[in-house]
């Protein structure tokens, strides 16, 4: 074992009032339990970080049917206000979760964002468009996703990529299905705070 790691573990054990042996035994049993549940410790740490980030971001977990109903109802009854809220949230999410350092970093961070927060997305394709800098996004969601809510997801993704310097040039929006072509315009846009 690396001497620095051993010293850190010893400090950790002492701070928790445990012996080094009991701390390592506890860590080992947690690793075995994680493996039994189908993920490794790195996945467990990532999941914990994701939940902490989501909680700090004022996100909540909600039943899919309730969310679809509420989103669709908000779209129909107060469309402008609802889309403004979606836009503001998408701008913020883009600056927090997306890495626009280059196209491959952006694509990877967008894949992670959709995988982490859009659990109803059953298939995602993100590919270069006609130009290597352009993007083609296809997202297939569960068939229960109503058209009103699919439009909301379209708007959120559009705004997230607008912040990164992309504009939607073509799209197909059907219930539970999105295909969007994005063209790279230039630099990242600054996020306007209301």
Q: pLDDT of 149-172, one tens digit each? A: 999 999 999 999 999 999 999 999
pLDDT at 102: 81
CB of 165 within 8 A of CB of 185? yes
What is the token pair recorded at 108? 């990877």
pLDDT at 161: 94
CB of 54 within 8 A of CB of 117? yes
CB of 145 within 8 A of CB of 176? yes
CB of 137 within 8 A of CB of 131? no
128, containing H or E segment:
strand 121-128
pLDDT at 186: 66
Which conformational region is residue 121 in: left (phi greater than 0), alpha (psi within -120 to 50 degrees), or beta?
A: beta
Kindly tell me if the per-residue pLDDT of 139 is higher than 80.
yes
pLDDT in tens, 50-104: 888 888 878 888 889 999 999 999 999 999 999 999 999 999 889 888 887 788 8
Euclidean distance between CA atoms 59 and 82, whole angstroms: 16
Q: What is the mean pLDDT of residues 24-44?
A: 86
pLDDT at 187: 54
Contacts of 33 (CB under 8 A, 6+ apart): none
Q: Which residue has the tokens 């010893």?
A: 10
pLDDT band at 191 (very low <50, low <70, confident <90, very high): very low
pLDDT band at 193 (very low <50, low <70, confident <90, very high): very low
Q: What is the mean pLDDT of residues 32-45?
A: 85
CB of 72 within 8 A of CB of 88? no
CA distance between the termini of the chain: 52
pLDDT at 147: 95
pLDDT at 194: 42
């Amino acid at each position: 074992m690396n001497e620095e790691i051993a010293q850190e573990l010893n400090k950790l054990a002492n701070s928790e009032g445990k012996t080094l042996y009991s701390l390592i035994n506890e860590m080992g049993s947690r690793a075995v339990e994680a493996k039994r549940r189908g993920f490794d410790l790195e996945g467990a740490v990532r999941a914990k970080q994701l939940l902490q980030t989501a909680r700090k971001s004022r996100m909540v977990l909600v039943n899919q049917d309730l969310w679809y109903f509420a989103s669709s109802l908000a779209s129909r009854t107060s469309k402008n206000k609802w889309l403004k809220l979606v836009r503001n949230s998408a701008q913020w999410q883009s600056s927090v979760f997306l890495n626009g350092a280059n196209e491959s970093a952006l694509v990877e961070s967008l894949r992670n964002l959709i995988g982490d927060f859009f659990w109803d997305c059953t298939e995602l394709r993100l590919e270069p468009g006609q130009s290597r800098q352009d993007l083609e996004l296809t997202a297939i969601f569960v068939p229960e996703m109503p058209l009103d809510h699919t439009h909301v997801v379209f708007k959120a993704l559009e705004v997230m990529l607008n912040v990164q310097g992309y504009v939607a040039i073509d799209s197909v929006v059907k219930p539970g299905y999105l295909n969007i072509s994005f063209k790279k315009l230039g630099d990242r846009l600054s996020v306007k705070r209301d």
